[in-house]
Structure 1
């Protein structure tokens, strides 16, 4: 029997020595019985120093900080904790209890995985994020100082009235909520409100409420203290609300906030204090609140998915921005404004044909100002000639305006210095392409264009518009 015990001891020593992970074995009272040789590199102590000592004493010496064995003995189940050792290493310790037949803890076996490099990468990442956030804030502040009135393009009566209202309320600290469809420019007016206020020299912190997961909302918005949770930056982190101190906090798409988060936000708005995650002391925060949403908050209150008390806190000065289709006069001005900026950005000198302007102003723009801006950028990049013609618009084919098309088509031919034959061929190609998209067979195309089927086939082939048609 003793021989078998000796063999088990030899095997156990071999396992402890061969293991790349640190292994510590204690009895049911927390006294260290065995420890793997790599204890010194991880915990700064030789196994001989640890063996015979109780984990309570080793925790007091900050060798095991905190002691996973102590936690297992208390909870009587498998536990896991992140430790920081005296050798400045981070290890993930897992403790497993071993029970005897009576249910008493006979042994506790703990495994420690060295995560120092991973933790270092996390801290570097957090530090980089903090720097990026600070740089973005500084850039935003510079932009606010360089702010010009042209950033708010106004032509329609509705936009001018909104601008006048923004100017009137900017000097106060009253909460403003901008209402309107996505892409109407709520964030532009929010920045204008900040720029017109006495806080314009301070930070303007914009938060997209729909982009922050509920599980991260509290730490992102309120910040956290050092070591408040696994993976936290050891120096702690300021939240977005704290960064808005003395400045403006803009909560974009506030209707996306879950109910649980709404309650926490309401408390901050009411008390103007925050407590970091893992912290005990509340900090006073002075900020001006601006919000925006594309949802009907009042209807959401009725449906029970938005807090009524938060709704009334926000609804001090509601400002509704109408969609672009209801302020048609702004379309032309905005299109030319974006064209000027994008010509400068891409080093081009393009301009709209009059027929293109007609198409732009008659379109409904479901994506509002954002869609118009993206469309103008697309046209500046993709248009072959300096003149931007209607056929470069993706929604142009939805309209059937042959008279208007003929007018700009002639202008295009003249611009390209084409002969009469070139002009006739271009018109012929356009008719054939349109018929090709509209009809299923060459017989149908021939019938509707007043040509023979063989002529249609020949011309499709000539202009490389051939397809598998009969």
Structure 2
């Protein structure tokens, strides 16, 4: 009777516990279970008695098994187990030995950590999102773009913008071609902001600035400890930063043949592995590529993969150099001067000779050269009126050469040429003859008459 009473007490104690407790023999036959065990696994506890844990795993009740691990290791073991209902349990298995140190029982107990694990996953996802946002902000903080729209007074730039707007609405890959400094990066941003992806990130990758050996790590990212010197937390790649937005590949022709293959594979599959990772990651982004080289010619010379060329080159947009769209020069100069005056709290103005020199310069560095020169003159000019003394020596020499008088022509001819040049500049700057007349200090009929005289009307 004492044994019976003792046994009942042990059963009562076992079932009073709120946790899942299971006792098996080394062969995996269940000998004891608590009432909580059945509730956790979605079955009746009594039905588990006498069953084999191997059979229950085959039925999908739980996996992986505690018993075989403890039998093999012969020590306390803890791991995460999944149930048929999708619960995640933190399971601990403990070996029980007899006086001969033979393993005779395996006792296991578990805690439902589903909510805790879900919270962990959520926090991990939040951590990655925050890291992505931080990197996006860091990138955007260093990106340079106009405060207003692209300047397009010339017919050729109006055509470029018209094409860009049309293509922006369609989710296709685009290649931007043009000399260095023509504004390919700015046009790519313009297309992004006019596209359905405008609320997503715009990530710029300078393919020519990333060392070949580091391209894959920067482009696709890497897991923690992927290689010596890697960030301990791993790193998001530029591709992942572009999720839902636009990935701008500047100087794409600078990619090595090996990295061209990696880029092609990503474009084809829209998925990739981080360095050192085993999880296949997918990214939905639009690709805009740019180069100052003729890609088609590089393909013919076997310096750029033909298959990558056709993948990228769904639509091509050529940006003309600044010397081929002189109608945009004056509006650009006015826009940039206003911008730098505001930035440096100045009220600088350009002398007429300076303005004439800028308008007639060929600008081999294109818009980038113009931006650099105007900012330099606004900052360095000793007075608010920027004179020829603030121009670089090369422009000063050209201006002096152009200003020398040609005495092989008569004074009336020289005056007529000067008047014609002034009218041409005024015509480029002002939209109406009324505005021209006001600026030149003459009547509107006089402006109309003079334009007709020189064939400018």
Q: 1:153 deviation in Å? A: 1.1
Which of 124, 134, 137 aligns to 1:135? It is 137
Q: Which residue is 1:418 aligned to?
A: none
Residues in 2 aligned to 1:292 and 1:131: alpha-carbon distance in whole angstroms: 25
When residues 138 and 342 of structure 1 are mapped into structure 2, their CA distance, relative to the original with a 3 A threshold, is: closer
CA contact (8 A) 2:132 2:241 kept: no
Q: CA deviation at 1:130?
A: 7.4
Equivalents in 2 of 1:337, 1:179: separation in Å?
24
Partner of 1:228, secondary structure, is coil
Larger Rg: 2
Quick one: which of 261, 266, 269 aligns to 1:268? 266
Shift of 1:386: 1.8
Counterpart residue number, 1:371: 369
Q: Tell me the distance in 1 between the aligned counterparts of 2:133 and 2:224.
A: 17
The TM-score normalised by the length of structure 1 is 0.56
Say whether residues 1:385 and 2:383 are aligned partners: yes
User: What is the aligned length?
Assistant: 275
How far is 1:384 from its partner?
Answer: 2.0
Quote the residue 2:235 is aligned against. Answer: 237
The TM-score with structure 2 as length reference comes to 0.57
1:181-330 superposed matches below 5 A: 181-330=179-328
- The runs of 5 or more residues in structure 1 that have no matched partner are 1-59, 61-127, 408-470
The answer for the alignment partner of 1:397 in structure 2 is: 397
**Poorly superposed stretches of 4+, deviation over 3 Å:** 128-132, 137-141, 401-404
Distance in 1 separating the partners of 2:134 and 2:339: 26
Q: After superposition, what is the alpha-carbon deviation per residue over 1:72-95, rounded to whole angstroms, capped at 9, x for unaligned?
A: xxxxxxxxxxxxxxxxxxxxxxxx
Distance 1:129 1:355, change over 3 A: farther
Change (3 A) 1:173 1:131: closer
Residue of structure 2 in register with 1:24 after alignment: none
Measured at CA, do residues 255 and 138 of structure 1 come closer, stay the same or move farther in structure 2, by a change above 3 Å? closer
SS in 2 for 1:356: helix
Structure 2 residues without counterparts, runs of 5 or longer: 1-72, 74-129, 406-414, 416-457
Residues 200, 244 of structure 2: 8 Å contact kept: yes
Residue 132 (structure 1) shift? 5.8
Q: What is the CA-CA distance between 1:355 and the residue it aligns to?
A: 1.9
Distance of aligned partners of 1:305 and 1:129 in 2 relative to their CA distance in 1, 3 Å threshold: farther
Contact 2:179–2:292 (Cα < 8 Å) also in 1: yes
Q: What is the root-mean-square deviation in Å for CA atoms of aligned residues? A: 2.4
